[in-house]
Chain A
């Protein structure tokens, strides 16, 4: 995977210089998540790779890393999907179109589309882990002819947590991609007519060529061990698996130390890792 520690657009001499990001559209989902569309000065493109992230600064509140959820094939502003969990994310949820944030990046390694050219791909997303994967999913859908069979498996805790409902419907109904979904459980006040059970319960249902399909996984920390175990039992070779990992981050540049996994830094060596690279790193917990 390509690793880029420097921003693509001109940030001058100082790597900590953000640019203005104008919020042009927001869209709440039913749970605690909200989509933000952000425009850079002069309509400049972010120039990211699927799976890369930006450091977003909320004036007066703080900064945090967020995966770019839109595909680079989508022209114009880019999109982030943000779950309100703390100071920065809650402040963001209170912001509106017309408000300004700071943007540094894009940072980290992404999914290099060229590496997956012509390959069958299985996407496995848990919860908000769909946000980074959607960037690559939409890339493969937009350039459909460049890729082989596409399959997505998406698991959430409960139905209200589902992101991008219109797209999920298109994925489910269209012919471009096989789509499977599940929820851990459906509380009584919510509606659900799909399967219930943790994500590993539906992975065996997917019909893929286990020897050759590339598998891209992103989800909460607890998910990886179980999913990787399932993939192993199915016979998926480790070398076909790619993971996007999350850690605490303060700089995005390989310096602050917060995101360290053994000698690796998730912000520059990741967040997207080829599984064999992190498999034997004790601190990766995969």
Chain B
């Protein structure tokens, strides 16, 4: 572990903003919410934030991106798949969002290579920040994602006058090369451990009533509990907001767009969500999840059971974004999981 004085860190960041070929983005207060946005000065960083509106997923898998271009020039027809290598230096990522990115890496790089994602991801530098505040809808501590020892290039912990810096990768270490950093003292190392083990868990108002390891089983047992899913989703508007704000949701659609008046155009992919009505519909008026209760159920099944079956991860990291953004107030996974757990227990008695 290293330690860097705050002014020194800010100078390093300002230097990076000025000279790095990549955009530097970081957590800022936009007046109403915290957001990841282009950083013009290190002084704009707001590392004491609770949660950002969107996770940094938006930089690795943008809400819209061109994945293919085509052109027809004098009878020569050409397709060109695109993968912009526009990585970013991303500053201030909370541990749960780092865990979410690790889940995406596993799928989009390690298992099924997705070139647009891989290019951005591998060209990015992820600077994490230990939590100093939590939103009232978050339950990351219960999900084991309130702290992490992987997934970052660097991880900052605020120690008042200084930041303690954990180095996760060689690239992270090199980032610090030009700055004045020193080795952490034993007290400083212990203080970071204390913050992670005592202060961080204390930030959360919500918790799961059981171990997340039980989630896949609990969900499976409630698959046919239609009464629950129907009651629960009664007020849902099928707006898909809960999908869009989720750092682990990665479903997308692909649209072909013609440049007007030409024989060229492109394919653009955009975030899509399983709560939207047509997500699973096919020709012939067949919709495999026609009822909102079925779509609602699918969202939770996918998060807590299906993805676990396939990749070994629980695809909910407890950030609480879906809960705070849902206008109908029905997207709260912590509440759903706890209720499902109660259903299973009631059943067992």
Q: A interface vs B, CB < 8 Å?
A: 5, 12-20, 57-63, 83, 85-86, 89, 100, 102, 220-221, 246-248, 250-251, 253-258, 260, 262-263, 268, 282-283, 285
Contact = CB atoms under 8 A, between A and B. Distances in A.
B252 A250 contact: yes
B79 A102 contact: yes
Given A59-B265, A255-B108, A15 B274 contact: no
Given A15-B114, A263-B306, A263-B309, A256 B251 contact: yes
Nearest to B258: A60
Contact of A15 (B113, B267, B279): B113
A5 B256 contact: no
A125 to B, nearest CB: 16
Interface string B218-234: 00000110000000000
A250 B310 contact: no
Contacts of B114: 15, 253, 255
Interface in B291-309: 298, 301-302, 305-307, 309
Nearest to A221: B286
Interface string B116-147: 10000000000000000000000000000000
A62 B70 CA distance: 12
Interface of B: 67-68, 70, 72, 77, 79-83, 107-108, 112-116, 223-224, 250-256, 258, 263, 265, 267, 269, 272, 274, 279-284, 286, 288, 298, 301-302, 305-307, 309-310
Given A253-B112, A263-B307, A60 B265 contact: yes
Given A251-B252, A255-B112, A257-B250, A18 B282 contact: no
Most A CB atoms within 10 A — which of B72, B80, B115, B283? B283
A15 B284 contact: no
A248 B274 contact: no
Contact of A255 (B83, B250, B263, B281): B250
A59 B70 contact: yes
A14 B267 CA distance: 14
A62 B265 CA distance: 11
Contacts of B224: 282
Contacts of B302: 257, 260
Contacts of B107: 255
Most B CB atoms within 10 A — which of A12, A251, A260? A260
Nearest to A269: B310
B251 A257 contact: yes
Contacts of A63: 254, 256, 267
B283 A85 contact: yes
Contacts of A262: 301, 306, 309
Nearest to A261: B288
Contacts of B252: 250-251, 255-257
B274 to A, nearest CB: 7
18 contacts: A14-B83, A18-B79, A57-B70, A57-B267, A59-B72, A59-B263, A60-B256, A60-B258, A102-B70, A247-B288, A250-B252, A250-B272, A255-B112, A257-B251, A258-B251, A260-B280, A263-B305, A285-B288
B293 to A, nearest CB: 13
Contacts of A83: 283
Given A13-B115, A20-B79, A100-B77, A57 B282 contact: no
Given A14-B81, A63-B267, A256 B253 contact: yes
A16 B250 contact: no
Contacts of B70: 57, 59, 102
A80 B224 CA distance: 39
Given A57-B79, A258-B280, 5 more contacts: A16-B115, A17-B81, A57-B256, A57-B267, A59-B265
A285 to B, nearest CB: 7
B265 to A, nearest CB: 5
A217 to B, nearest CB: 17
A279 to B, nearest CB: 15
A269 B263 CA distance: 36
A5 B112 contact: yes
Contacts of A13: 115
A19 B224 CA distance: 44
Nearest to B307: A263
B79 A256 contact: no
A62 B257 CA distance: 8
A254 B112 contact: yes
Contacts of A260: 280, 298, 302, 306
Contacts of A86: 283
A95 to B, nearest CB: 13
A255 B256 CA distance: 18
Given A63-B254, A221-B286, A17 B112 contact: no
